Each structure stands twice: as structure tokens, then as C-alpha cells.
Structure 1
Amino acid sequence: MSLRLNIIVAACENQGIGINGELPWRLREEMKYFSRMTKATKSSEKQNAVVMGRKTWESIPDKFRPLPGRLNLVISSRAKLPWRHIRRDPGPEFSGSTVCSSFKEAIDKVHSRTDEVESVWAIGGSSIYEMALESEHLHRIYLTRILKDFECDTFLPSFDPKKFQIVTDPVVPNEVQQEGDITYKYEIYEKLK
């Protein structure tokens, strides 16, 4: 099976994706979209994997960690520490997840479980997105474009739109969405072969 890696991210007009380890906006419907997209599989026998950095893991409220219904892979330099060489016990701070020392290790772990995992979603932060953008396995970028500026300290790495085509998906709304005073739209970029 060819591994399909997707990026899912929400970015505002200045390409900002976060501030102080949190999202700069609260969009309930957009969060439901994130959950729906990263959980959905064609096969009821499989689940998806989500790959994230340590700071993204820590930004998820405790009651939602690990993200349910998905294989959670956390990339952390702490995984390189000698006392972590037996990774069956990632430690209480990563309970319920698989800790990896690199993006490559996370992808390799998913490759070894293709009978259980349908697709992989890179969910943040910035350095994880950067590695996913460079990955030979990258299939699509699911970008929620927040049509407003927010103060941010973390940004989506730039990508060359000429290497992608914009596609539609019947499960992704085409029209502009509105929550409170924030409008946003969903875009899907599929990597050209």
C-alpha cells in the first residue's frame, strides 16, 4: 500500500497558526471538521494516524488526549533520551500515544501498521508541517483559510501552489463558513504527481 499523508491546518491571513501554544481563535464547527476529517476511513477495520509535535500534544486539553479514534504519534526529542529506549512506556506526559524521535520514525511506524492504519494526518505544529510538506508521501493539504488577521507567533511554512492542484471533496463544504465575527473557507490542495 502506498502511504497517504495529509496535512490539516487552519491559518489566518498572515499564515499564522498559533500563539503561546494555543489557537488564536475558537471555532467550534471548524474543530468538528478537524475531528471528522482525521477520523474518517473508508474501511471500518482501520483507523487513521495523527502525527504531531510535543507542543501540539501539550496544547490539547488533557480530557481530549490522546485524540480518540486515531493512532496518536508524538514527535519529541525526549524520545531520544537513553531511558526512553524501551518506548512501550512513553512516560505519563505522553500517555496513550506512541512517541517517536523523528518524523521519519513516525512514518516508519505507520508503514509497519498499514493493515491497521488507512491514512496519516500531520496536525502540527510548524516544524511538523514543514517535514510533511517535504515528504514523498504528501498527498493533500486540507487548509482552513481564516479570512481575518490574528496575532500569531507560529506560522504555516510556505508551499509552492504550482506543485498542487485545488480539488473538491463531497464531504468538504465549498461555501464560506461563518462563526461569530469570523469567516473562513476550506481549501484542498492535492500534490501533483
Structure 2
Amino acid sequence: MATNKEKLSSKGKPRLFTSKDFHYDKSTKSCRCPAGNEMWCSCTNLKSDEQVYTRFAGYLKDCKVCPLQSQCMRKAPIKTVRQVQFLNDRELKTPSYKDKMRIKIDSLIGRRQYGKRLGAIEPVFGNITVNKGMNKFTLRGQEKVNAQWQMYCLVHNIEKLCIKPTKTHHISFEYGLFTYKPLIIYDLVIKNKNQQKRKRF
């Protein structure tokens, strides 16, 4: 027996029937409403939120004269009828890309690889967004946005080379058709930082 709290919704209104109140037979794929009327299957592969459902709908002639109409529908049926859907078996559903990635991350190798993200990937985005002030792209178009992002990544890589003077100040590195010397680039980075500080104050 349902209690008074279960019969009422959070707003104090009578709670309508849910899918748990309908009698669904998986073997025959048939459904009956709480009043005992048979419903017809309107869809067998309804996809919603990466899940597959089977939907049933009642007959209009049955819904109009149903004694449980006030407990089943918010408004009296004129053209629309009550519909209900049930989740298909997970074994019959093909795994989605999200499910495959969840299985891969939950494995021992996946956890070990994902744990490296904190020290390898997150600092890059933290430096570019916080220290470099790139919270959003200022250009429009895929080519311009890619060029802007590559420039920020280039500055990030140059800065990484410049923070180790014993290894980087005595070598030069190439990017495209140009050859840069870290000593000169390090000075340019420091000057840009000082100019940004002066603009703030």
C-alpha cells in the first residue's frame, strides 16, 4: 500500500502513474496500463541519453473512458494519449563510445595513464589560461583560431626552454624556417611580462 506522501508530489498535487505502475512483459513485449487496458508498441529502439527504450501508447478510446484518468494524465485526453517507455536490456544494447572510454579508464593501465594528466596536461592549460590570460579566442574562423592557439603553444614551449638556463642557453632550436636563440627569446619574454605589469598598474 502506498502512503499519503507517496501519493502526493512535492507540490502537494496527486502523483501521476509512473512506468513502475504499468505491467510490462519483456518476453512478449506487451504492456498493460494500471486499469488493465492493453497498450500498443509505438517504438522499439527509442534512443535518449545514450540509452535505448521501448515505448508504448494507449488507445484513445480507452483513455477517454478510463476511471483512473485523473491519476494517469494531467489533462483529459482529446487527441493525445498516455505514453510510457521502458529501458531495454543492457546486454542487447551496443556499447557507446562513452561506455568504451569508461571501461578503458577504469582498467589498471587506464588509471595509470590518466593519473599522468595532472602533471603533464593540466599545467599546460593552466599556464596558458591563467598566466598568459587566454580565457577565450579573440579571432573568428577555424584557420585564425588554430593560428592563435599555435602561437600561444609556441610561447609556452619557448618559456619551458628558457627556464632551464644550463641546458637551453647554449643551444638554438628551429621552428619552421626560422632559427631562434633562447637567450634572445628569454629577454623578449621578460620584457613582455614587464610591459604587461606596467599596463595593469
TM-score range, shorter chain: under 0.3
Point out which structure has higher relative CO (alpha carbons under 8 A, 6+ apart).
1
Question: Normalised by the size of structure 1, how large is the TM-score?
Answer: 0.20
Question: Normalised by the size of structure 2, how large is the TM-score?
Answer: 0.20
Query: Quick check: which has more Rg, 1 or 2?
Result: 2
Judging by fraction of residues, say which structure has more strand. 1
